[in-house]
Amino acid sequence: MTARLLIVGPQGSGKGTQGVRIAQAFLVPAISTGDVFRANISEGTELGRQVQAIIEAGNLVPDALTSEVVRDRLAQDDAAAGFLLDGYPRNLAQVADLDAFLDARGETLDAVIELDVAREESIARLTKRAEEQGRTDDTADVIAHRLSIYESETAPILGVYRERGIVDAIDGVGTLDEITERILVALIARGLSPEA
Ligand code: ADP
């Protein structure tokens, strides 16, 4: 069945990992704006050149550029029967852009997965990831900056979606399997059925 999903959570909440797992369960593409940007940076594309310094500083890429990337990606065939967006929308302007794209297609979001972890836990996980993966935006200062942008710009989008009654808040502390199970239980309770 179709499922149009968002996963929202602070840096280090595990939303990337869980997003991929949930997308696989629903047979829809997981679309991460951060991954799209990082791929463009490593391929040295024009987009990559435009966003590299912004991402390394932990700032948000301008909305117009980000929304264009998402609109183009959603226009691809594999997103026709649903998608899971990870890392977009990230502020209220992007919520409005996404609403406009979906309206034009006669579509609406089915559910927004809010992955909750405490700030200290996020920082501990990101510090560990910095050691393992060496992402250039995982230094202590940039992590703190990204978390503060999450709190000031991204967390407010949950209020909009809560008013629409589509948010499932999930405890993001536990094993990967436990968290996936919690998300699936919440989505099934909404009448969405995974394919696998
Ligand atoms: P994290 O959640 O750890 O910040 P992401 O992979 O989601 O990691 O994003 C990495 C970076 O890519 C962000 O810090 C930001 O610079 C940029 N980015 C990703 N998604 C967006 C978005 N929707 N709007 C603006 N910038 C974005």
Residue 108 Cα to ligand 1 midpoint, Å, equals 23
Query: Using one digit for the tens of pLDDT, what is the confidence trace for 169-186?
Result: 999 999 999 999 999 999
Q: Which amino acid is at 89?
A: P
Mutate to test the pocket of ligand 1, among 7, 37, 69, 151 (most ligand atoms within 8 A of CB): 37
Query: Is any ligand 1 atom within 6 A of the Cβ of residue 34?
Result: yes
Name the percent of the chain in helix, strand, coil, to the closest 5: 60, 15, 30
Output the pTM of the full model.
Answer: 0.94
What is d(CA 144, CA 190) in angstroms, rounded to the nearest whole number?
35
Taking residue 149's Cβ as centre, other Cβ atoms within 10 Å add up to: 16
Taking residue 117's Cβ as centre, other Cβ atoms within 10 Å add up to: 22
Per-domain boundaries in the chain: 3-189
Query: Using one digit for the tens of pLDDT, what is the confidence trace for 26-44?
Result: 999 999 999 999 999 999 9
Q: If you average pLDDT over every residue of the chain, what do you get?
A: 95
Per CATH, the homologous superfamily of domain 3-189 is P-loop containing nucleotide triphosphate hydrolases (3.40.50.300)
Residue 191 Cα to ligand 1 midpoint, Å, equals 30
Q: pLDDT over 70 for what percent of the chain? A: 99
- Is cis: bond before 62, omega within 30 of 0? no
Query: Is any ligand 1 atom within 6 A of the Cβ of residue 146?
Result: yes
What is the model's pLDDT at position 196? 56
Query: Comparing 97 with 124, which gets the higher pLDDT?
Result: 97
Residue 67 pLDDT grade (very low, low, confident, very high; cuts 50, 70, 90)? very high
Query: Is any ligand 1 atom within 6 A of the Cβ of residue 94?
Result: yes
State which H helix or E strand residue 3 sits in: strand 3-8
Nearest CA to ligand 1 atom 18: 34
Sheet architecture: strand order including 167-171: 30-32, 82-86, 3-8, 111-116, 167-171
What is the model's pLDDT at position 139? 86
Look at residue 133 and tell me whether its pLDDT is greater than 70: yes
Residue 26 tokens, joined: 């629903």
Residue 132 tokens, joined: 């393992």
